[in-house]
Structure 1
Amino acid sequence: LKTLLLISLLTTISYGNNNNTNETHCPDHELWEWLTAHQPVYILLITVLGIMLNMFVLIVFCFHKKACTIAEIYLSNLAAADLVLVSCLPFWAVNMLNDFNWPFGHFMCKVINVGIKMNAYCSIYFLVLVSIDRYVALVHAMSHGRMRSPKYAKLGCLLTWGFGLLLSIPVFIFRELGYIPEYGTVCYLNYPSHNVHVICDGILIIFSFVIPISIISFCTLNIIQALKSQAIERFNAENTERKATILVLAVLVAFLICWVPFHVITIVDVLLRGGILEGCHFENAVDISLQIFTYLAFLNSILNPILYVIVGKNFRKKVRELFQQWGHRTKTSSDSTRSNLSSTLKTSV
């Protein structure tokens, strides 16, 4: 049962009456105990770093004197999606420290998991948007350049948030609180039937993996070819496009490294539960891999801000300019205060 609860924690594996027969399949007790002991620490570390780093990115993009470019609009929304994720994770850390006895109530059980699921959808579709933007900027700049405007970028982000929320509705509907004597009140996914479970898994795989990865792969391959071709020389006078593209490619690679293993093992798990794949030890290996790859995926939420600093020359420039901007304001305010104080003293004399 503990194994099943761990898997249902942050993934789409459900706990319900139809799954009780799978509770004790070849458990690797030592590895599960190690995972249970270290998960809360890992989650809290991801939370602290993720909140700090993504808040830093949002502050730079939002408070810089210059308006965000189209790519920066998408990347700032990506940072906001990551911030939503890491803000939800501490609730699950407390839940694990509390032996899976959910202390936050029925509504928070639903809302917290919707926030986590929205990140899985929104993050990848913000990357789809930024991939399409780079593709249009470098491959079809002359014919489709009019499509690239801040107004359309903001509209695309708004639609992405709405689409992510729409796809998270099954989580809001099927997340429930249930009492289990060994643990108390548990927050788990309770699908009404196996068919509904399969449909929800299919939606996850198709809309958060197959479709977006196909679009990203197509755009990325064409972007790389464009960067290598002589046609890209027209952008040499404006290195902003090239710098933004290099940053986007770095973010895409990090995302694929962190998220593709999770989606691949999710597909394997669906095949396993559908009876297409079988094996006691194989099932246990898939269960453990789901846990490990889930937390690898969450690591992506703190990698993006680090990449902005390491790879993003324009971002580093914005950081320096923002600090100079704040320093100038502080100096101006200090000078104004001293001037007012001096005037007051002269008047008093």
Structure 2
Amino acid sequence: MDLEIRMGNFSPTSLLNSTECPSIDDFRNQVYSTAYSLITVFALVGNGFALLVLIRTSRQSSPFHIYMLNLAVSDILCVSTLPLRVIYYVNKGEWQLGDFVCRISSYALYVNLYCSIYFMAVMSVTRFLAIVFPVRNMSLITVRRSRFVCVAVWVLICLMSSPFLMSGQHFDPVTNKTKCFEPPKQIKGINKLVMLNYLSLAVGFLLPFLVILICYAGIIRTLLLRKMAAGHQTAAGKRAIRMIVIVLLTFLVCFMPYHVQRTVHLHFMSRTDASCEETVAMQKYVIIAMCFAASNSCFDPMLYFFSGEGFRNRMHSFRQSIDSRKNRRGIPGQEVRSNNHLDES
């Protein structure tokens, strides 16, 4: 099931009073096509550059580097499907790319959403151990273990998101169009949707967010104690503070509004006394919340650059490797020009 539209374009009142309530299709098409286009550009540029740097400097491997690399891959996979959604909404809600692509497009967005949450959680745990338990951290956090954790995260999230593969394209006889990212007009099993929502809310959002908050509380306490003892903040402490700000900002802007609005809308769907104004407003709120959720890929490059362990050093090494390659290519030409000059003299 695709919760983006299942909870954004569906409610009992919209089915009962579909002829009375105004359609939000124009609003939906404009907002999604514009938002997904902007997200695609910014996220593709930011994560593409970050992925290039991380791959080219992979010899300088560390646990944090492994997590950043996997997070960038997740973002790229998600962003690569957003243009398909743009095409769909530009075509005013008509899908022309087949059932399989429809399912994969829905699946990829939610895999990225929850992979981002979990990779941020394991990055926070890694930073917590490095600052609070620096001696034990050397034996607890290794490159090999970080790779195992990444595999576990991918497997867990891919399995958790598998329900999104169950819903593909379908034909809508009312509009005479093939639909994707939207449910059929009649949906059975609202209680099942509620259960799935609370499961994903607890396991996919609340649990990792709680872990992140606990880690950040420990990090801040340790940094405050060290600052009082030393009188200044270390470079590792500054990176940790930047990471806390960026991750919390991503959760507050992208993840929390979406999960709160999704839960509220599910309970709204059980109402029978909602007015058209309330129904339309709720549907618009869910669309906006979904756009913010998809924008999480734009925040991750900030995480790499401002708090990534040695990421700016990696960028410097990357530039040096490019410069040295250009110099090596330029040397033969310089020698030839020099010889020609001697011959002419």
Is TM-score (shorter-chain normalized) higher than 0.5?
yes
1:211 and 2:204 matched:
no
- What letter corresponds to residue 325 of structure 2 in structure 1? R
* 3-state SS of 1:289 partner: helix
Q: 1:41 offset after TM fit, Å?
A: 2.3
| 1:296 pairs with one of 289, 292, 298 | 292
* Contact in 2 for aligned 1:120/1:208 (Cα 8 Å): no
Q: Write the distance in 2 (CA, Å) between the matches of 1:138 and 1:329.
A: 38
Q: Structure 1 residues 52, 233: closer, same or farther in 2, change over 3 A?
A: farther
Alpha-carbon offset, residue 50 of structure 1: 1.1
- On the 8 A contact 1:39/1:93 being kept in 2, the answer is yes
Contact 1:18 1:194 survives alignment (8 Å): no
Select which of 233, 255, 266 maps to 1:259.
255
* Cα distance in 2 for residues equivalent to 1:59 and 1:15: 38
- Secondary structure in 2 matching 1:102: coil
CA change 1:34–1:228 in 2 (3 A) is same
Of the three residues 150, 163, 171, the one matched with 1:178 is 171
* Aligned partner letter, 1:10: E
RMSD of aligned Cα (Å): 3.4
**Structure number with higher relative contact order (C-alpha < 8 Å, ≥ 6 residues apart):** 2
| 1:69 equivalent in alignment to 2:62 | yes
Query: Distance in 1 between the 2:30 and 2:329 partners?
Result: 51
Are 1:160 and 2:153 counterparts?
yes
Measure the CA separation in 2 of the matches of 1:61 and 1:155. 19
Instruction: State the partner residue of 2:4.
Output: 10
**Higher mean displacement: 188-197 or 318-327:** 188-197
* Alignment correspondent of 2:316: 320
Tell me by how many angstroms 1:326 deviates: 0.9
What is the identity, as a one-letter code, of the residue corresponding to 2:215?
Answer: C
Contact 2:128 2:219 in 1 (8 A): yes
Q: Which moved more, 1:107-116 or 1:168-177?
A: 168-177
Give the whole-Å Cα distance in 2 for the aligned partners of 1:127 and 1:271.
Answer: 29
Deviations 1:173-206 (A, max 9, x none): 1334233331511123466533332232222212
Match of 2:245 in 1: 250
8 A Cα contact 1:128 1:212, kept in partner: yes
TM-score by length of 1: 0.83
Q: Does the C-alpha gap of structure 1 residues 178 and 204 become closer, same or farther in structure 2, counting only changes over 3 Å?
A: farther
Q: 1: distance between equivalents of 2:243 and 2:69?
A: 12
Aligned pair count? 336
The aligned counterpart of 1:51 is 44
**Gaps in structure 2 of 5+ consecutive residues:** none
Pairwise CA distance, 1:165: 0.8
**Following the alignment from structure 1 to structure 2, what is the Cα–Cα distance between the partners of residues 128 and 310?**
17
For residue 15 of structure 2, what is the amino acid of its counterpart?
Answer: T
Asked if 1:60 corresponds to 2:56, the answer is: no
How far apart, CA to CA, are the structure 2 residues paired with 1:296 and 1:312? 23
Relative distance call for 1:35 and 1:19 in structure 2 (3 A) is: closer
Counterparts of 2:78 and 2:52, CA distance in 1: 18
Q: Which structure 1 segments of 5+ residues have no match?
A: 1-6
Distance 1:288 1:33 in 2: 11
The answer for the alignment partner of 1:89 in structure 2 is: 82
TM normalised by structure 2 equals 0.84
Cα distance, 1:113 vs structure 2: 0.7
Say which SS state the counterpart of residue 74 (structure 1) adopts.
helix
Q: Which amino acid aligns with 1:13?
A: M
- Pair 320,12 (structure 1): closer, same or farther in 2 beyond 3 Å: farther
Deviation of 1:37 (Å) = 2.5
**After the TM superposition, which of the residue ranges 333-342 and 126-135 deviates more from structure 2?**
333-342
**Secondary structure at 1:210 match in 2:** helix
